[in-house]
């Protein structure tokens, strides 16, 4: 049940950092309760990770679907590590939040009879995914929420980079920002500014820029997680980083939605053989971690050459396929064609890439963190809904559900004067690096590209103790070297180093394989989404 709304006599000052679905939803709910909200965003308001979401939003919106089935699917994908209470909140409150999106103008795709078009994605037992514009769901949601925000009383500060949280005696009371002045789209200068508030909400997204290959935009540099850690907030389960199986293997990284496989496209090796069933009985529609590792394994067998996504059987003729793919997946179709590929006629090369961080700043079911006055929502938060592996299309749902809850809770918390916090969780990330080998390797000069390559190779899809210890030592060496930090990109690098160090430490500490955290050097494999040939739906 959502925290009760409250109206305060003196407006509660709230700062929301981030402008994706989670941040926008928090801001809109908080301002409706009489809070004075300032939303700060690293780029322009519309440029958040949400706008890149193709797959859609999952929710029990059809009469023949069941809440318990969506809960079950989410728990199975999470490989036994999801918080069932959080999952129940997500699924039970999801339909109301989806209807709220419709009310603010999101036009989800409908068929000729006026009913919503059903979409199927991996590890779902029912086609409960809603899309807008075929494969432009995130863009549609972002546009609608931004329009609603601009029509509200929320103050917006764009080009505002979060340097750190302001805290006194453990209580968070504001943010320190680097605000860029722009000539057109080019930053020409910047100024430091401190903005105070009664409550601060982190909605800064994930940290895909940790890896050499990612589906995330360049702004995903772990800024909120790093700032929370420096302030003393608890973080959890950073070892669980999801890798999306299918990125176009030509040109700049571009994600090919799981919905394409949901429509029947298959994965084949360079000889045309479907190989995904070697790893799991659900084949191409197995949980993401399984499919991504199956592709990586097949690429190793092919000396690094990509596998192929085959959509050439989805309709009877090439002309029919071209029409279907262009209509059902217009964004992907355009990107594929821009790369000189015709996926209606020929399978296209695909590879995995870093996609989504399941762990993050530890929160309760209302976004509260371990620090009074600090909240976290969306990908920056560890709510417990995703466990070791996120179920497809639950991310937009999480942002909407927990964004609304946090926005409602802040008003009530302010009225009570209590500012509740979560206690230190079991499995909270260590504040210091795990013991490294007796002698550190000779580390190259630090660059972001060097860090991304290191983590891709040693803390990526498949890990082992030797690789993780090597990564830990190199990062420790880089962190120990003095650097002058003045520009936004340099602050980002420091954040990536801190988050990367903590991710590696957490991966070393978790010595079993579970979900997206796969260790080749251990025999124990935990959860339904790990072991090859495991029965689909096992707990």
Q: What is the CATH number of the domain that holds 504?
A: 1.20.58.100
Q: Is 392 exposed, middle or buried, given 0-12, 13-18 or 19+ CB atoms closer than 10 A?
A: buried
Beta 360-362 vs 235-236: how paired, if at all?
antiparallel
Q: Which residues does 422 contact at the CB level (< 8 Å), separation at least 6? A: 234, 362, 363, 364, 368, 369, 370
Q: How many domains does the chain have?
A: 2
Inside any domain, residue 104 = no
Final residue of a domain: which of 301, 329, 354?
Answer: 354
209 domain-assigned: no
Q: Cβ–Cβ contacts within 10 Å for residue 240, how many?
A: 29
Give the pLDDT of residue 434: 44
Q: What share of the chain is helix, strand, coil (3-state, %, to 5)?
A: 35, 20, 45
**DSSP summary character for residue 208:** G
Decide if 338 is inside a domain. Answer: yes
pLDDT reported for residue 182: 52
pLDDT of the residue at 53: 82
Q: Buried b / exposed e across 112-151, counting CB within 10 Å, b at 16+?
A: eeeebbbbbbbbbebebbbbbbbbbbbbbbbbbbbebbee
User: Residue for token digits 């390559």?
Assistant: 453
Give the residues of the chain that fall short of pLDDT 70: 1-9, 181-189, 424-441, 523-539
User: What is the model's pLDDT at position 54?
Assistant: 79
pLDDT value, residue 168: 84
- Give 265's contacts (C-beta < 8 A, 6+ positions apart): 284, 309, 310, 311, 314
**Last residue within a domain, chosen from 297, 325, 354:** 354
CATH code: domain of residue 327: 3.90.700.10
pLDDT score for 539: 23
Q: Are the CB atoms for 339 and 188 separated by under 8 Å?
A: no
Query: What pLDDT, on a 0 to 100 scale, did the predictor assign at position 181?
Result: 65
- In the prediction, which pLDDT does 538 show? 24
Q: Which two tokens stand for residue 425?
A: 């969780």
User: Which residues are identified as catalytic?
Assistant: 288
Q: Which domain, by its residues, includes 487? A: 448-526
Please tell me the predicted confidence (pLDDT) of residue 21.
97
Q: For residue 400, what pLDDT is reported?
A: 98
> Does any domain span residue 326?
yes
pLDDT in tens, 423-465: 866 655 544 444 444 455 678 899 999 999 999 999 999 999 9
pLDDT of residue 432: 42
pLDDT of residue 534: 30
Does a structural domain hold residue 161?
no
Is 89 domain-assigned? Answer: no
- Domain-terminating residue out of 322, 354, 386: 354
Would 83 be classed as within a structural domain?
no
What CA–CA distance (Å, rounded) separates 521 from 512? 9
Tell me what pLDDT residue 213 has: 94
Q: Is 483 domain-assigned?
A: yes
CA distance 192 to 340: 45
pLDDT given for residue 163 in this prediction = 97
């Amino acid at each position: 049940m959502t925290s009760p709304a409250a109206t305060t006599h003196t407006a509660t000052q709230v700062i929301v950092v981030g402008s994706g679905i989670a941040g926008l939803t928090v801001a809109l709910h908080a301002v409706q309760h009489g809070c004075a909200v300032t939303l700060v965003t690293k780029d322009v308001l519309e440029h958040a990770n949400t706008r890149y979401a193709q797959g859609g939003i999952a929710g029990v919106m059809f009469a023949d679907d069941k809440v318990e089935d969506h809960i079950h699917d989410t728990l199975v994908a999470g490989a036994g590590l999801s918080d069932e209470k959080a999952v129940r909140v997500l699924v039970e409150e999801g339909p109301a939040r989806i209807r709220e999106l419709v009310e603010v103008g999101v036009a989800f795709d409908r068929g000729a009879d006026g009913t919503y078009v059903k979409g199927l994605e991996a590890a779902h037992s029912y086609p409960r995914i809603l899309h807008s514009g075929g494969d432009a769901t995130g863009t549609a949601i972002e546009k609608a929420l931004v329009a609603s925000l601009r029509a509200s009383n929320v103050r917006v500060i764009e080009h505002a980079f979060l340097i750190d949280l302001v805290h006194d005696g453990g209580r968070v009371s504001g943010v320190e920002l680097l605000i860029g002045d722009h000539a057109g789209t080019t930053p020409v200068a910047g100024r430091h500014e401190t903005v105070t508030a009664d409550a601060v909400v982190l909605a800064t997204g994930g940290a895909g820029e940790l890896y050499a290959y990612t589906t995330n935009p360049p702004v995903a540099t772990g800024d909120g997680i790093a700032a929370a850690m420096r302030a003393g907030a608890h973080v959890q389960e950073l070892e669980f980083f999801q890798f999306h199986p299918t990125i176009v293997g030509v040109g700049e990284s571009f994600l090919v939605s799981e919905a394409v496989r949901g429509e029947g496209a298959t994965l084949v090796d360079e000889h045309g053989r479907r190989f995904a069933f070697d790893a799991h009985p659900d084949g191409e529609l197995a949980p993401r971690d399984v499919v991504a590792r199956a592709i990586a394994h097949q690429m190793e067998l092919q000396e690094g050459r990509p596998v192929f996504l085959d959509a050439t059987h989805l309709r009877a003729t090439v002309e029919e396929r071209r029409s279907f793919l262009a209509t059902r997946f217009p964004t992907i179709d355009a990107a594929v064609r821009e790369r000189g590929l015709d996926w209606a006629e020929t399978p296209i090369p695909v590879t995995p890439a870093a996609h989504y961080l399941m762990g993050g700043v530890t929160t309760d079911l209302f976004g509260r963190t371990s620090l009074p006055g600090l909240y976290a929502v969306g990908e920056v938060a560890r709510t417990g809904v995703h466990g070791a592996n996120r179920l497809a299309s639950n991310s937009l749902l999480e942002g909407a559900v927990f964004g609304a809850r946090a926005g409602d809770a802040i008003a009530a918390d302010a009225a009570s004067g209590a500012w509740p916090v979560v206690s230190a969780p079991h499995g909270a990330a260590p504040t210091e690096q795990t013991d490294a080998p007796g002698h550190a390797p000779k580390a190259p000069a630090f660059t972001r590209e060097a860090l991304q390559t290191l983590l891709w190779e040693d803390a990526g899809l498949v890990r082992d103790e030797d690789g993780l210890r090597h990564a830990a030592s190199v990062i420790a060496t880089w962190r120990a070297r003095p650097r002058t930090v003045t520009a936004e990109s340099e602050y980002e690098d420091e954040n990536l180093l801190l988050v990367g160090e903590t991710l590696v430490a957490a991966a070393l500490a978790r010595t079993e394989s579970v979900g997206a955290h796969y260790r080749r050097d251990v025999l124990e494999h935990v959860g339904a989404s790990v072991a090859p040939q495991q029965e689909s739906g096992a707990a």
